Amino acid sequence: MRKFFAAKTNGILWVLVLFFLYSHVGEAQKSTFKINATGTTAELDSAMRYAVSIWGSLLTSPVPIKINVVYTSFIVNVPTLASTFPNGRKNFNHTPLADTWYPTALANALNRSELNPGEYDMDIYVNADKPWYAGKDSHCPADKYDLVSVFLHEVGHGLGFASLANVKGDAGSFGSLTSADYFPLRTSFPFPDLEGLPSAFDRAMQNDSGEKLTDTVLFQNNSPSLKEQFTSTDVFLSSGQGQLGNGGNMPKVYAPNSFTLGVSMTHLDEDSYGNMLMTPFFDKGSANHQPSGLELGILADLGWNSEAPLSLTDGLRVVVSLQIKEGAVPLEVQFLSSDKEEASLHIYELSGKELATKQMDASETSWKAPSPGIYYYTYTSGLRNERGKFSAK
Ligand SMILES: [Zn+2]
């Protein structure tokens, strides 16, 4: 999860950054971040707190997000500016996808309570050998790196931009990483046995033929065919909301011909989105303090900011009083209410346009989607007001 130096500049970014800088000032926080920092100064701490306040104004969680920062020399002269290790959990309450690793920051938000007491949600190593600019004004000097931008990027990995893909020899794999792969860096929390399972970010990956990379029938785990995919330059994210923030196009993942752990597969494509936050390379003298609509859409599809995360891809989901499941025919979705009183269900497309209204009374209703994709619903019964999303296929 590294952010590298690369030589490129862009003048347009400047205007955007200034605008969004002001938009964050005093903005209400939807989640709380707690930073434990080692080796930093008060000035660096202040820049990092500012960076997390940007995420905090965008993402909702009832559980404080705990970040462990180690500001240290990387000893060997590497281009790496910083490295992030997200802590992970799978199969918790309201898991959108089973047998899938979620960063604990998101798992806690979905679970509605803390799954990892005593453990940090992410460890972030910041390379103390680099020249840092700790200002919050985006006026980064040409010979320094903007810490707010880089820290914002690193925390983005800990929130969901995290792949468990690796390549060893001729084989590509998901979920085979161990702490030894990151030596001499190590995590403050126990590095889990990943059990050959992918991350939520990995689950969204597909090639240009629409084949899911985590489909082990198509691509056996730990195989040359998976390595071929990881190094194909054609890996995309099946992300309805990410697509919405990307002019209808599927977001492209950085998957160059040569695989580098921590860089390949875990960032957005540099050539396609060089000015965005979650690309792998970053210039001296530049600043980006604003996650894009595409990046926020990807995080939303992973499960952020969804009061009732739902997926029909792995069967029935129960959300308090409403069950949603696949119908008998393609694109049909069934809704089962267990409320005694009358409830109303509204269905919307991603743009917010309402598509259907249904009255329900301890009853069942079905709806046929116009096309495969992700839709929103609101469900109101008495004082209960639930909202969430579901997919139709
Ligand atoms: Zn990165």
Per mean pLDDT, which range of 197-206, 255-264, 279-288, 330-339 is the poorest? Answer: 330-339
φ and ψ at residue 159, rounded to 5 degrees = -95, -15
pLDDT per residue over 207-246, tens digit each?
999 999 999 999 999 999 999 999 999 999 988 777 777 7
Q: Which residues contact 343 (CB under 8 A, 6 or more apart)?
A: 321, 322, 337, 359, 360, 361, 379, 380, 381, 384
Q: How far is the CA of 195 from the centre of ligand 1 (A)?
A: 24
Q: How far is the CA of 267 from the centre of ligand 1 (A)?
A: 6
What does the pLDDT read at residue 23?
Answer: 38
Q: What angle do CA 35, 31, 191 make, to 5 degrees?
A: 50
Q: How far is the CA of 278 from the centre of ligand 1 (A)?
A: 6
Highest CATH level, class, for 312-392: mainly beta
Q: How far is the CA of 274 from the centre of ligand 1 (A)?
A: 13
Give the confidence band of 321 by pLDDT, cuts at 50, 70, 90.
low
pLDDT above 70 as % of the chain: 85
Q: Report helix angle 42-56 to 147-159, nearest 10.
A: 50
Q: How far is the CA of 358 from the centre of ligand 1 (A)?
A: 44
Q: How far is the CA of 337 from the centre of ligand 1 (A)?
A: 43
Q: Which residues surround ligand 1, an ion (CB under 5 A)?
A: 1, 3
Q: How far is the CA of 157 from the centre of ligand 1 (A)?
A: 7
Q: How far is the CA of 4 from the centre of ligand 1 (A)?
A: 8
Whether the bond between 184 and the residue before it is cis, its omega within 30 degrees of 0, is: yes
Q: How far is the CA of 99 from the centre of ligand 1 (A)?
A: 24
Helix (H, G, I), strand (E, B) or coil at 304: coil
What does the pLDDT read at residue 275?
Answer: 86
Domain segments of the chain as ranges: 11-306, 312-392
Q: How far is the CA of 38 from the centre of ligand 1 (A)?
A: 21
pLDDT per residue over 95-114, tens digit each?
889 999 999 999 999 998 99
pLDDT per residue over 53-87, tens digit each?
999 999 999 999 999 999 999 877 778 999 999 99
Q: How far is the CA of 385 from the centre of ligand 1 (A)?
A: 38
**Distance of alpha carbon 129 from the chain centroid:** 28
Residue 344 has pLDDT above 90, yes or no: no
Q: How far is the CA of 96 from the centre of ligand 1 (A)?
A: 24
What does the pLDDT read at residue 297?
Answer: 85
